[in-house]
Homo-oligomer: A and B are copies of this chain.
Amino acid sequence: MLTATVLANPRLATNPVLATGTKSPERGPSEDGFAPLRKIGTVSSFARNKTIFNEGDAAEFSYKVIAGAVRLCKVLPDGRRQIAFFFMPGDYFGLGQAGEHAYTAEAVSDVTLACYARRRMEGLCDELPGVRKELVSRLHRDLSDAQKHLVMLGRQTAKERVASFLLILVERVRAKDGDTIDLPMGRQDIADYLGLTIETVCRALSDLKRSKVISTPNTHQAVLHDIAALHKTCENEL
């Protein structure tokens, strides 16, 4: 169904270099400043809920999502979890890492990734100013996204956070038909992204459904009928 069926038979892998025979060179269009990366990319796949790397692991690779979705999270000793990012097809993550990863990356759905060895990326940065600019630009955009996220967690109510979340998603798939968005992540993931409980997320979604602002044909899709109302709900421009 949905985005989770990219792989007919998903292969497990705990480390890209060990991934199940998927070291074929990366293919396909890549129109951004990272185009030169295509030459050094290898492809790797991870099944749903598998760990791509753990907090504390040596940072060997940077990644691009080819298909599926990835979550970056931190977990407290008592189990509380906070998701910092969701990465969708076309997004890069693990950029600019030196030493250890500061967070854990997991596959939200079955995922196909392009992997770039850190040393080879550094080489490209030294050779090609365009790659360096793209790296800095993407890091800066991530930082900017994180700051918007801080506003959501620090200063918005539950309903505002859910509305903001839907607007962020619709913004990132502005190629899709109409106002239907895929939600590859489950409710618990949404809750952990928004700093709420799963029940509160459900109630906020139900509120929005009751007021006809959205509808949910199934748990992994949402139709946004009234985007203006969503913007008004999270009374800010983010």
Q: In this assembly, does A103 line the interface, its C-beta being within 8 Å of a C-beta of chain B?
A: yes
A61 to B223, CA, bound (A): 42
How many residues on A have C-beta within 8 angstroms of the other chain's C-beta atoms? 43
A72 to B143, CA, bound (A): 12
Q: Are A237 and B153 also in contact (CB < 8 A) when A96-B140, A144-B102, A147-B84 are?
A: no
User: When the two chains form their complex, are residues B76 and A154 in contact, meaning their CB atoms are under 8 A apart?
Assistant: no
A147 to B237, CA, bound (A): 22
User: When the two chains form their complex, are residues B155 and A76 in contact, meaning their CB atoms are under 8 A apart?
Assistant: yes
Minimum CB distance partner of A95 in chain B: B140
- A127-149 contacts to B, CB under 8 A, are 129, 132, 135-137, 139-140, 142-144, 146-149
A151 to B97, CA, bound (A): 20
User: When the two chains form their complex, are residues B142 and A143 in contact, meaning their CB atoms are under 8 A apart?
Assistant: yes
Q: How far does the Cβ of A96 sit from chain B's closest Cβ, in whole Å?
A: 4
Q: Are A236 and B76 also in contact (CB < 8 A) when A135-B136, A140-B98 are?
A: yes
User: When the two chains form their complex, are residues B78 and A235 in contact, meaning their CB atoms are under 8 A apart?
Assistant: yes
A-B contact pairs, 7 of them (CB 8 A): A74-B151, A76-B235, A77-B237, A80-B156, A81-B155, A84-B150, A143-B146
A residues at B contact (CB < 8 Å): 72, 74, 76-78, 80-82, 84, 95-98, 102-103, 125-126, 129, 132, 135-137, 139-140, 142-144, 146-151, 153-156, 192, 194-195, 235-237
